[in-house]
């Protein structure tokens, strides 16, 4: 008897996992907010461990690394911070309609690079032939087209044959990278660098280089919110994402939606490329996007397809990226430390979704005895 009881006890799990009913939105955000705070504290803790500095000091370096001497009225760093947010956010926004359709566009990097390539080609080849307003228009049109085409190619094959889009778009990144390497080699005379081009730069507003970029991305954020939420196309995207069969049943042309959405996604990536080249670097190289296409995927997912939440998530991620890099820098450590920390916080956020969707029920003592 005793043996049997022991054996039975062994098979009874200590707890089991139950799917939750929908939580109220504030409960969900309480979980996520708590995770973010915990994540940031952990990041500061790890930074303290490797640098050996106090909590205050570490946070101070992080804060000043991101915002500069804001208290003393200097806004240079703040604008740079906003600029970094703008680039990452615009990539994440570009990916969002595709993700909502369950189309894993891992090719933001390549699409943005192609957009940037179109910009720099216009700036170099047409810079002294066209008047400034015409040049800017040509840059915008060609960049958007280049990004859209780079997004269109995998979309066509996905729509016609169901080709795996994750890997297709991933491979397109590296093809774009090699094309950039080729172009940079020709124009840079074998030096892997193109000197900053004067023509076709976005105008400064006041004394600010990045104002145009930030305004453009803010506008895209708003438009994307409305597009996904209130337009017919946004509705079609969400139906196709939920179930392609349902979409077909209610008369949505799934192939058309896939292709159209990816053209939009690619075109917006092309816009990012233009912002990077014409609005920020005035040059291009294979690392211009610098792997942000992947971070953008994570942001888009963390933001739950809501552009405003994505903006907040971007702000946090960029804060950690710049801030931790600064902490590592001041301690003469490699700034890749910030990548580890960003990865850590994102993994924590990914993990915390479990507690949003499931709850753990512990076996009560009484039940176990009975």
Partner 1 sequence: MIVQFLCRAILLGVPILYGSTGEIITEKSGHLNLGIPGIMYVGAISGVVGSFLYENACGNDIEKMNAALAILIPLLSSIVGAVLMGLIYSFLTVTLHANQNVTGLALTTLGIGLGNFLGASLISITKSELPSIALTKTSSFFSVKAPFADKLGPVGELLFSHDFLTYLAIAIALVASYVLNRTRVGLNLRAVGENPATADAAGIRVSKYKYVATCIGSAIAGLGGLQYVMAYASGVWSNNAFGDRGWLAIALVIFALWKPSIAILGSFLFGALCNANNYIQGLGAETQELFKMLPYVVTIIVLIITSMRKKREYQAPESLGLPYFREER
Interface residue list for partner 1 (CB under 8 A): 17-19, 104, 106, 157, 161-164, 166-168, 170-172, 174-175, 178-179, 181-182, 185-186, 190, 291, 294-295, 297-298, 301, 332-334, 336-344, 346-347, 350-351, 353-354, 357-358
Q: How far is the CB of 355 from partner 1 (least distance, A)?
A: 9
Choice between 82 and 176, CB closer to partner 1:
176
Choice between 158 and 210, CB closer to partner 1:
158
DSSP annotation of 279 reads: I
How far is residue 289's CA from residue 298's CA, in Å, rounded to a whole number?
15
- Secondary structure class of 9 (helix, strand, coil): helix
Choice between 276 and 345, CB closer to partner 1:
345
Q: What is the 3 state secondary structure string of 282-346?
A: CCCCCCCCCCHHHHHHHHHHHCCCCHHHHHHHHHHHHHHHHHHHHHHHHCCCCCCHHHHHHHHHH
Angle between helices 307-330 and 76-100 (to 10 degrees): 130
Query: What are φ and ψ of residue 317, in 5° steps?
Result: -65, -45
Query: What are φ and ψ of residue 304, in 5° steps?
Result: 50, 40
| 176 closest CA partner among 289, 82, 61 | 289
Q: How far is the CB of 180 from partner 1 (least distance, A)?
A: 9
Choice between 154 and 279, CB closer to partner 1:
154
Choice between 180 and 263, CB closer to partner 1:
180
Q: How far is the CB of 325 from partner 1 (least distance, A)?
A: 11
> How far does CA 311 lie from the centroid of its chain?
10
| 102 closest CA partner among 251, 301, 306 | 301
Per the listing, tokens 């939606």 go with 257
Q: How far is the CB of 74 from partner 1 (least distance, A)?
A: 30
Q: How far is the CB of 157 from partner 1 (least distance, A)?
A: 6
Q: How far is the CB of 165 from partner 1 (least distance, A)?
A: 10
| 271 closest CA partner among 61, 118, 122, 97 | 118
Choice between 124 and 333, CB closer to partner 1:
333
Choice between 13 and 133, CB closer to partner 1:
13
How far is residue 316's CA from residue 321's CA, in Å, rounded to a whole number?
9
Q: How far is the CB of 154 from partner 1 (least distance, A)?
A: 9
Q: How far is the CB of 16 from partner 1 (least distance, A)?
A: 8
How far is residue 337's CA from residue 333's CA, in Å, rounded to a whole number?
8
Choice between 281 and 339, CB closer to partner 1:
339
């Amino acid at each position: 008897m005793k043996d049997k009881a022991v054996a039975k006890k062994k098979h009874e799990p200590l707890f089991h996992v139950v799917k939750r009913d929908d939580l109220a939105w504030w409960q969900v955000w309480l979980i996520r907010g708590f995770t973010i705070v915990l994540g940031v504290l952990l990041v500061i803790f790890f930074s303290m461990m490797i640098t050996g500095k106090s909590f205050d000091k570490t946070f101070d370096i992080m804060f000043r690394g991101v915002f500069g001497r804001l208290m003393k009225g200097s806004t240079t760093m703040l604008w740079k911070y906003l600029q970094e947010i703008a680039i990452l956010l615009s990539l994440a926004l570009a990916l969002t309609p595709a993700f909502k359709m369950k189309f894993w566009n891992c090719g933001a990097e390549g699409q943005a690079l192609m957009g940037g390539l179109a910009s720099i080609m216009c700036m170099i080849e047409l810079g002294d032939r066209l008047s400034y307003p015409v040049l800017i228009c040509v840059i915008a049109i060609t960049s958007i087209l280049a990004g859209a085409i780079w997004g269109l190619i995998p979309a066509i094959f996905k729509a016609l044959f169901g080709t795996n889009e994750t890997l297709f778009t991933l491979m397109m990144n590296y093809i774009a990278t090699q094309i950039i390497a080729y172009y940079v080699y020709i124009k840079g005379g074998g030096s892997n660098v193109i000197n900053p081009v004067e023509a076709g730069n976005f105008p400064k507003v006041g004394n600010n280089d990045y104002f145009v970029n930030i305004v453009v991305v803010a506008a895209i954020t708003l438009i994307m919110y409305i597009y996904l939420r209130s337009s017919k196309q946004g509705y079609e995207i969400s139906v196709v994402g939920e179930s392609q069969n349902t979409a077909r049943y209610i008369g949505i042309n799934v192939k058309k939606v896939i292709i159209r959405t990816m053209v939009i996604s690619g075109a917006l990536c092309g816009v990012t490329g233009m912002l990077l080249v014409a609005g920020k670097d005035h040059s291009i190289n294979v690392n211009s996007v610098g792997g942000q296409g992947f971070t953008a995927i994570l942001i888009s997912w963390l933001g739950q397809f809501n552009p405003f939440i994505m903006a907040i998530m971007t702000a946090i991620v960029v804060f950690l990226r710049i801030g931790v890099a600064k902490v590592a820098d001041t301690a003469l450590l490699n700034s890749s430390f910030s990548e580890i920390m960003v990865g850590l916080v994102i993994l924590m956020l990914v993990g915390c979704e479990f507690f949003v969707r499931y709850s753990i029920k512990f076996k009560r003592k009484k039940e176990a005895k009975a």
